[in-house]
Amino acid sequence: MNGLSKVVPDGADTLAILQDIDVEVMPGEAVAVVGTSGSGKTTLLGLLAGLDTPTAGSVALDGHDVYSLDEDGRAALRSKLLGFVFQSFHLLPALNATENVMLPLELAGDRDAAAHAVAMLERVGLGKRLRHYPKTLSGGEQQRVALARAFVIRPKLLLADEPTGNLDAATGAAIIDLIFELNAERGTTLILVTHDEMLARRCGRLIRLSGGRIENA
Amino acid sequence: MLELNMLSLRMLLRDWRAGELRILAIALVVAVASVTSVGFFADRVRQSLTREAHQLLGADLVMVADHPWSEAVRDEIARRGLRLAQSVGFISMARARDQAQLVAIKAVSDGYPLRGKLRIAPGLNLPDEETDLVPPRGSVWVDERLALALALAVGDVLELGDIKLGVGAILTLEPDRGASFFNIAPRLLMHVDDVAATGLVQTGSRVWYHLLAAGQREQVEALEQWAVSGLGRGESLQSLSNARPEIRASLERAHKFIGLTALLAVVLAAVAISLATRRYIQRHLDGYAVMRCTGASQRQLCGLFAGEFGALGALAGVAGCIAGYIAQFAIAWLVAELVAVPLPQPSLLPALQGFLIGLALLLGFALPPLLRLKNVPALRVIRRDLGPPRESALAAYGAGLATIAALLVWQAGEAKLGFIVLGGFGAAFVLFGCIAFGALHALGGAAGAAGLTWRYGLANLRRRAHTNTVQILSLALGLTAILLLTFTRGDLLATWKAKIPADAPNRFIVNIQPEQRTLLFEFFRDHGLALPETYPMVRGRWVAHNGAPVDVDQYVERERRLVEREFNLSYMDAVPAHNRMIAGRGFTPQDLARGALSVEEGIARSLGWKLGDRLSWQVAGQTFSAPIVNIRKLDWDSMRVNFFVIATPRLLESAATSYITSFHLPQSEAQFANRLSQRFPNLTVVDMSVILRQAQNVMEQVIRAVQLVFLFAVGAGILVLYSALLATQDERVQEAAVMRALGASRSQVLAAQRAEFIALGLIAGLLAAAGATAIGFVIASQVFQFAYHVNHWVWAAGPLLGVMCVAVNMVAGARAALSQPPILALREV
């Protein structure tokens, strides 16, 4: 990220959500972004993933200048490079566990989507829950399905937005363990947004945001 | 591309399994079934008319006239080497065993019919067989109705006019009578050479003369060309291409109106589809954003949804066509008596039309909002507050509304009627919508005074005013249709019957010859009956209007038929007392001297006659003309003898005249009619009550068919209710969970929802009652022209039906709200 800023209109005035962010993350690194509510963590994640557009600055992912691409170009880049894990899981309620994991593969035209999805679900410990729908799974299980969905496309970068925010402490810890395991196994780069200091400390590097600026990196 | 299509199908299966698409699919099926059921049925009747054209004509070409054909015409047909037969048709009385019965007589020559075969049986309920013969002279063949009415068996003797004829067989099939929508009287078939001896064809008798021709195609075509050029007034041709135009016209009209009825279901289904699509979109916003996040392009996702919904539309269209095909059997069964012909299998055209309507609904009402999904920012995965940008309802549903408008115009077959119906729908929607919206706000506002559960339930009415308005609107429209066909129809009939005085004439006598009048009066006097008033009747053809010759081609349908045939003219010194003059003046001595006309208001309007216009008439080869000096309004329900045109006596009294009268025959004197027929064999006594019963029977059957089609509309209305309930279900579930978390009991939660639903049902029911009453009022005053007496029960039935319909929703809604522990509901939503 180079000189990344996001300013939004706020009535007659403007509000700077992010200002002048310069960060470089190396392959295989695990970085935690922490800060209080409203510090700009989620906006930073959105810009990093090419989901939002910055007011100024640029983002390069694996050598690609994200914002020189159009919306569909950024989507194509995400399909190759990025995996997502969200606080509220975002599983599709009409699809069962396997189908949820298959979806990104199917969209990319993978003919062995089902086999890959089943293998990934077995890897996250849900081999016996393959045909369960989200509403019949516990919160921890849903997040495991979401993890399987994120890792099944073998992303180079995993973006996790408060992945334990909706889980109790024990389940949350188990999910974090699993993220780090998969991360190590596959050499994925991890950027984790959280307000949980304990969790943040498990990452190799910590970026603290305050008022839209990096307090320490 | 193939992969995307396969993925679309997989997504369709997954969404279907998860129950996301059921309402949408059912709404489509109902809409398509509604339209195709009517389409299939009409197609079968139409095909039967075309395929059986030879049979329906009994020939390749039929020449019809209201006067005998000249020898020259017969000679020409024979000269051209075509086979020739003739038939003469008229209505008269047949008598046997002191009973008299109105019969439709067809007298035929040898060789009739030239195409198709007659079938006869040696007795009632015995096997029949084809025959190449016609009844020999001195013999008649009677159909089952006549045999039953006069208790006739083969071998019995029957009196017809001045002669006695033996019953030779029971007539079971007469090809050219096959598809008659309204058979006024049972059939009697006799030999044409016996007609003169009966003495029934006299001055004033309405008789149809048919010449039937058959031969090689070229010969027939040549004859047709020759005949067309020489056709005079009162003469027409029926060929294979225009066989039975009256049946075709009735069919097309019936198809048009029942088809429009079917579109009510389509309109309501469209509402259900748009509501169901809205819910689908709400529930798929996150999924869409996730897919965008994981790298799907906008184009890919548009293709995915278009493919999924396209496949859904195709499958639902096929299912709808199958349902429509099954439903048309029910329609055919309900109107079986009216369409007494074997119906062939329908063509695929109605299926194609239904299928296209299904796709049009989907394209118009589901696809535009669906494609807005592409505007959902992927950022929604981390910012839940982001959705697709709001658009005006017109932008979203403009295509859909245009589709509905096009469908209505297409079904109506003409722009004017289409737009009238569209305007009617539109006005009803807006009016009902405004009233419902206002009522919801008023009730919501009054909620403060109610108890806790009612307060909460009624407040919800106002909070969800838009969805609730749609629910009320749809339910009210469906219920209006039901109330209209139950209460309003019954009321209209009852009002009409009550309007006919108990002593109104119930028998007409026609064909009274001038010299018979005195004898007839004596006969009445001898039987202790009041002397009836007889009116002279002269046949005349309208030939010129203000000096300009009448151009038949200028008129269509009913007007054309009126102009083509001869009018029954009457003459008298003064306009009858039971006629009301609405313009002009009564006949003056000057009028009586110079000649003047009095015309009926309705026909004057139809044919463009105005006060002071000069009309020319041809009576028995002589032409006279006279001005219109007054216009009369008739009370047709009085059952008295009425005439469209009355002339001053001098104009007509020298012409060949017969007389007509009507009288009231008490139930106890039924034998009088039989004795009258015996004493005066040439008179035709028409029992109006039988004809009214038949007319009512026809109406009943058509109404039953319409009711069946309305069932689709009610089904679609309930779907709208249910889809509207689903649209707010997530919200209701969450509210119920919050209420329970705050300590509300299950019964309190249920009571609050019950209050809301009952209010919805009541408002919809009241609106429907108001709608049905208003339509009844309009029909009574505009169509039947009598004061409508409102049935107060409709005000109880409407709301009751409304609450019954929403009861289904109440159960479904309550089950959803209370089926899981509050914590789960709170977590899920």
Predicted confidence band at B821 (pLDDT cuts at 50, 70, 90)?
A: low
How far off is chain B from A86, nearest CA to CA, in Å? 7
Position B744 scores a pLDDT of 74
CB distance A51–B300 less than 8 Å?
A: no
Asked, for residue A158, whether it belongs to a domain, the answer is yes
% helix, strand, coil for chain B, step of 5: 60, 15, 25
Question: Do B340 and B310 share a structural domain?
Answer: yes
Same-domain check for residues B258 and B390: yes
Let me know if residue B759 belongs to a domain: yes
Q: What is the mean pLDDT of chain B?
A: 82
Cα→Cα distances B670→A211, B641, B667, Å: 104, 21, 6
| Distance from the Cα of residue B306 to its chain's centroid | 38
pLDDT tens figures, A182-210: 888 888 999 999 888 888 888 889 999 88
CA distance readout (Å), B404 to B125, B273, B410, B422, B450: 52, 13, 10, 8, 42
CB B768 within 8 A of CB B476: yes
Residue B648: per-residue pLDDT: 94
Percent of chain B with pLDDT over 70: 89
Domain boundary among the residues B186, B212, B247 is at B247
Confidence of residue B646 (pLDDT cuts 50, 70, 90): very high
Which chain A residue is nearest to residue B304, measuring alpha carbons?
A107
pLDDT at residue B290, rounded to an integer = 83
Q: Please tell me which of the candidates A86, A93, A94 has its beta carbon nearest to residue B382.
A: A86
Task: Report A:62-81 residues touching B (Cβ under 8 A).
Answer: 71-72, 75-80
pLDDT at B530: 87
Q: Is B643's pLDDT higher than 50?
A: yes
Distances from the Cα of B15 to the Cα of B317, B365, B379, angstroms: 18, 19, 24
Question: What is the ipTM metric for this complex?
Answer: 0.81
Report d(CA B46, CA A168) in Å as an integer.
71
pLDDT digits (tens, 9 = 90+) for B488-540: 777 777 777 777 777 778 888 888 988 899 999 999 999 888 888 899 999 89
Residues 6 or more apart whose Cβ sits within 8 Å of residue B622:
B655
Please spell the DSSP secondary structure of chain A, one letter per residue: -EEEEEEEEETTEEEEEEEEE-----TT-EEEEEE-TTSSHHHHHHHHTTSS--SEEE-EETTEEGGGS-HHHHHHHHHHHEEEE-TT----TTS-HHHHHHHHHHHTT-TTHHHHHHHHHHHTT-TT-TT--GGGS-HHHHHHHHHHHHHTT--SEEEEESTTTTS-HHHHHHHHHHHHHHHHHHT-EEEEE-S-HHHHHTSSEEEEEETTEEEE-
Tokens representing B43 are 């197609």
The answer to whether position B497 is within a domain reads yes
H-type alpha helices, B728-745 = 729-741
CA torsion sign, B615 to B617 to B622 to B626?
Answer: negative
Residues B243 and B257 in one domain: no
Closest-CA residue in chain A for B378? Answer: A51
Residues B257 and B343 both lie in one domain: yes
Q: Report the candidate in B263, B274, B282 with the shortest Cα–Cα distance to residue B400.
A: B274
Cα B657 to Cα B637: distance, rounded to the nearest angstrom: 26
The 3 state secondary structure assigned to B135-146 is CCCCEEEEEHHH
Q: Is residue A24 part of a domain?
A: yes
The candidate with the shortest Cα–Cα distance to B566, out of B695, B681, B662, B656, is B656
> What domain range is B294 assigned to?
1-56+251-413
Contact A75 B828 (CB under 8 A): no
pLDDT digits (tens, 9 = 90+) for B690-742: 767 766 776 777 777 777 777 787 788 778 778 777 777 777 777 777 777 77
Q: ∠ CA B308-B730-B825 to the nearest 5 degrees?
A: 120
Lowest mean pLDDT among B44-58, B469-483, B606-620: B44-58
Is A51 in contact with B14 (Cβ distance < 8 A)?
no
> What is the rounded average pLDDT of the residues B110-114?
90
**What confidence score (pLDDT) does residue B480 get?**
82
Is residue A69 domain-resident? yes
In a domain, A135, yes or no: no
Is residue B629 predicted with pLDDT exceeding 90? Answer: yes
Q: Please answer whether residues B100 and B248 qualify as being in contact, where contact means their C-beta atoms are separated by less than 8 angstroms.
A: no
How many domains would you assign to chain A?
1
B384 and A88 in contact by Cβ < 8 A? yes
Residue A91, phi then psi, degrees to nearest 5:
-85, 150
Chain B residues in contact with chain A using a Cβ-Cβ cutoff of 8 Å:
3, 7, 10, 14-15, 17-18, 20, 283-284, 286-287, 289-300, 377-379, 381-384, 827-828
pLDDT given for residue B591 in this prediction: 92
Tell me the residue range of the domain where A185 lies.
2-91+154-216
Question: Would the CB atoms of B286 and A92 count as touching at under 8 Å?
Answer: yes
Chain centre to alpha carbon of residue B750: 45
Per-residue pLDDT, B829: 43
Q: Is residue A134 part of a domain?
A: no
Instruction: Determine which of A61, A79, A149 to mutate to test the interface with B (most B C-beta atoms within 10 Å).
Output: A79
Interface test with A, best of B21, B22, B294 (most A CBs within 10 A): B294
Chosen for mutation from A70, A95, A102, A145 (greatest number of chain B CBs closer than 10 Å) is A95
Looking up tokens 């009624």, which residue turns up? B458
Better pLDDT: B183 or B398: B398
B79 and B121 inside one domain: yes
Q: Largest Cα–Cα distance of chain B, in whole Å?
A: 103
Among B39, B382, B40, B80, which residue's Cα sits nearest to residue B217?
B80
Top residue of A90, A96, A153, A154 to mutate, by most chain B CBs within 10 Å, is A90
pLDDT higher at B134 or B365: B134
Query: B377 to chain A: which residues are within 8 Å by CB?
Result: 51-52
Task: Kindly indicate the confidence band of residue A50, based on its pLDDT and cuts at 50, 70 and 90.
Answer: confident
Q: What pLDDT digit, counting tens, does each position of B240-287 carry?
A: 766 666 666 666 777 777 777 787 788 888 888 888 888 888 778 878
Across the range B174-183, mean pLDDT stands at: 56
Helices then strands, each counted (H, E), chain B: 27, 22
Q: Are residues B205 and B271 in the same domain?
A: no
* Residue B626 to residue B614: CA distance in whole angstroms: 5
Spatial neighbors of B419 by CB under 8 A, at least 6 apart, are B408, B409
Residues in chain A closer than 8 A to B381 (CB atoms)? 51, 84, 86, 90, 161
**Domain containing A61 — which CATH number?**
3.40.50.300
Q: Which chain A residues are Cβ-neighbours of B827 within 8 angstroms?
A: 139
Locate tokens 């059986």: which residue?
Answer: B52
Asked, for residue B672, whether it belongs to a domain, the answer is no
pLDDT at B182 over 60: no
Where does residue B317 fall: left (phi above 0), alpha (psi -120 to 50 degrees), or beta otherwise? alpha
pLDDT at A98 over 90: yes
Contact B629, B591 (CB under 8 A): yes
- pLDDT at position B755 over 90: no
CA A28 to chain centre: 15
Under 8 Å CB pairs connecting chains A and B tally to 92
Give dist(CA B405, CA B353) in Å, integer: 16
Q: Is residue A116 part of a domain?
A: no
Residue B419 lies in a domain: no
Residue B686 DSSP class: E
Same domain, B442 and B497: yes
Residue of B121 and B416 predicted with greater confidence:
B121
pLDDT at B662 over 80: yes
Contacts of B290 in chain A (CB under 8 A): 84, 90, 92, 103
Q: List the single residue in B with minimal CA-CA distance to A154.
A: B294
Query: Per the structure block, which two tokens stand in for A189?
Result: 């780069």
Statement: residue B114 has pLDDT above 80: yes
Q: What is the percent of chain B with per-residue pLDDT over 90, rounded to a whole number?
A: 22
**In chain B, what residues touch A139 (CB-CB under 8 Å)?**
827
Predicted pLDDT of residue B181: 41
Helices A97-107/B245-293 angle, 10° precision: 90
Inter-chain CB proximity A84 and B290 less than 8 Å: yes
Least CB–CB distance from A72: residue in B291, B298, B828: B298
Residue B450 has pLDDT above 70, yes or no: no
Element (H, E) at B206: none
Q: How far, in Å, CA of B567 to CA of B587, rounded?
A: 21
Q: Kindly state whether residue A112 falls inside one of the protein's structural domains.
A: no
- Same domain as B544, residue B602: yes
Within a domain: A139: no
Cα–Cα distance, B452 to B677 (Å, whole number):
78
Q: How many domains does chain B have?
A: 4
What does the pLDDT average to over B326-335?
86
Say whether both B388 and B264 belong to one domain.
yes
Of B198, B223, B247, which residue is a domain's last? B247
B320 and B443: one domain? no
Q: Show residues of chain A in contact with B828, CB under 8 Å.
A: 135
* Residue A140 contacts B, CB cutoff 8 Å: no
Largest CA-CA distance found in chain A, in angstroms, rounded = 56
B286 vs A72: CB contact, 8 Å cut-off? Answer: no
Judge if B467 and B598 occupy the same domain: no
Contact A84/B293, CB-based, under 8 Å? yes
Residues B357 and B441 in one domain: no
B178 — pLDDT class (breaks 50, 70, 90) = very low
pLDDT tens digits along B127-139 = 888 899 999 999 9
Q: Which amino acid is at B183?
A: N
Among partner residues B7, B298, B379, which is closest to A51 by beta-carbon distance? B379
Q: What is the mean pLDDT of residues B312-336?
A: 89
